[in-house]
Structure 1
Amino acid sequence: MMGPLEVLASQYGQEPGIHKQVSLMRASTDRLLRLLNQLLDFRKHETGNVQLQRQQADFVRFLRQIVHSFLGHARSRQVQLNFESEGEEIPLWFDAGEMEKVISNLLVNAFKFTPAGGRISVRVRATQEEVTLLIEDTGLGIPAEEISQIFKQFYQADRHQSRDTGFGLGLALSKSIVEQHQGQISVESQAAGLEPTGFTRFKITLPILPVEEPLVTVPEPVVSEALPAVTRSEPAAGEKPLLLIVEDQADIRNYLADLLTTDYEVLEASNGVEAWETASQLLPDLLITDLAMPEMDGLTLTHRLKTDARTSHIPVIMLTAKDGVDHQLSGLQTGADDYLTKPFHPVLLRARVQNLLLLRQQLKTKYHRLITLQPQAQTLEHPDEKFLNQLMTVLDQHLADPDFNVGSLVAAMGMSRPVLFRKVKMLTDRSVVDLLRTTRLKKAKILLKQRKANVSEIAFAVGFSDPKYFSRAFRAEFGLTPTEYSQQVVTEETPS
Structure 2
Amino acid sequence: MVALHQGQISVESQPEEGTRFVVALPLCQPEVMVSPPPVFVYEEEVLPHELIPAAGTDFRILIVEDDKDVQQYLQQLLSSYALTVAEHGLQALVLLQDQTFDLVLTDVMMPEMNGIELCKKIRQSPKLAYLPIVMLTARSTVVEELEGLSMGADEYIAKPFKPQVLLARLDGLLQARTRLKEYYHRQILLQPSEVIIPNADKEFLEKAMRIVEDHLMDGDFSVQDLLDAMSMSQSVFYRRMKSITGQSVIEFIRDVRMKRAAQLLATSSYRISEIAYMVGVEDPKNFRKSFQRVYQMSPSDYVRQHREGSFTSSDDTP
TM-score (norm 2): 0.75
Aligned length in residues: 266
Amino acid at match of 1:4: V
Matched, 1:306 2:101: no
- Residues 377 and 389, structure 1, Cα contact 8 Å, conserved in 2: no
Query: Distance between the aligned counterparts of 1:476 and 1:368, measured in 2?
Result: 12
Q: Measured at CA, do residues 272 and 405 of structure 1 come closer, stay the same or move farther in structure 2, by a change above 3 Å?
A: same
Residue aligned with 2:179, SS = helix
User: Per-residue deviation at 1:438?
Assistant: 1.3
User: Per-residue deviation at 1:279?
Assistant: 2.2
Matched, 1:247 2:43: no
Specify the alignment match of 1:27 in structure 2.
none
Matched, 1:403 2:217: no
Q: Deviations over 1:180-226 (max 9, x none)?
A: xxxxxxxxxxxxxxxxxxxxxxxxxxxxxxxxxxxxxxxxxxxxxxx
Amino acid at match of 2:121: R
Query: Distance between the aligned counterparts of 2:39 and 2:164, measured in 1?
Result: 12
Find the partner of 1:358 among 171, 175, 191: 175
Which consecutive residues of structure 2, in runs of 5 or more, have no partner in the other structure?
1-37, 47-54, 312-318
Query: Distance between the aligned counterparts of 2:307 and 2:164, measured in 1?
Result: 59
Q: Measured at CA, do residues 378 and 363 of structure 1 come closer, stay the same or move farther in structure 2, by a change above 3 Å?
A: closer
Matched, 1:478 2:295: yes
- Residues 271 and 297, structure 1, Cα contact 8 Å, conserved in 2: yes
User: Per-residue deviation at 1:245?
Assistant: 1.1
Specify the alignment match of 1:374 in structure 2.
191
Superposition pairs for residues 239-278 of structure 1, below 5 Å?
Answer: 239-261=57-79, 263-278=80-95
Q: Measured at CA, do residues 3 and 346 of structure 1 come closer, stay the same or move farther in structure 2, by a change above 3 Å?
A: farther
Query: Distance between the aligned counterparts of 2:192 and 2:119, measured in 1?
Result: 32
User: Per-residue deviation at 1:492?
Assistant: 5.6
Specify the alignment match of 2:160 in structure 1.
343
Q: Measured at CA, do residues 337 and 488 of structure 1 come closer, stay the same or move farther in structure 2, by a change above 3 Å?
A: closer
- Residues 303 and 310, structure 2, Cα contact 8 Å, conserved in 1: no
Q: Percent identity?
A: 38
Query: Distance between the aligned counterparts of 1:489 and 1:362, measured in 2?
Result: 28
Q: Measured at CA, do residues 366 and 271 of structure 1 come closer, stay the same or move farther in structure 2, by a change above 3 Å?
A: same
- Residues 377 and 396, structure 1, Cα contact 8 Å, conserved in 2: no
Q: Measured at CA, do residues 366 and 473 of structure 1 come closer, stay the same or move farther in structure 2, by a change above 3 Å?
A: closer
Amino acid at match of 1:244: L
Query: Distance between the aligned counterparts of 2:183 and 2:306, measured in 1?
Result: 28
Q: Deviations over 1:223-259 (max 9, x none)?
A: xxxxxxxxxxxxxx95442221111222222222222
User: Per-residue deviation at 1:322?
Assistant: 1.2
User: Per-residue deviation at 1:370?
Assistant: 4.2
Q: Measured at CA, do residues 323 and 357 of structure 1 come closer, stay the same or move farther in structure 2, by a change above 3 Å?
A: same
Amino acid at match of 2:65: E
Amino acid at match of 1:258: Q
CA RMSD in angstroms, aligned pairs only: 2.5
Query: Distance between the aligned counterparts of 1:388 and 1:6, measured in 2?
Result: 43
User: Per-residue deviation at 1:339?
Assistant: 0.6
Specify the alignment match of 1:332 in structure 2.
149
Query: Distance between the aligned counterparts of 1:259 and 1:321, measured in 2?
Result: 19
Q: Deviations over 1:395-441 (max 9, x none)?
A: 22111111111111111111111111111111122221111111111
Which consecutive residues of structure 1, in runs of 5 or more, have no partner in the other structure?
12-236
Superposition pairs for residues 85-164 of structure 1, below 5 Å?
Answer: none
TM-score (norm 1): 0.50
User: Per-residue deviation at 1:462?
Assistant: 0.3
- Residues 291 and 319, structure 1, Cα contact 8 Å, conserved in 2: yes
Q: Which has the higher contact order (CA 8 A, sep 6+)?
A: 2
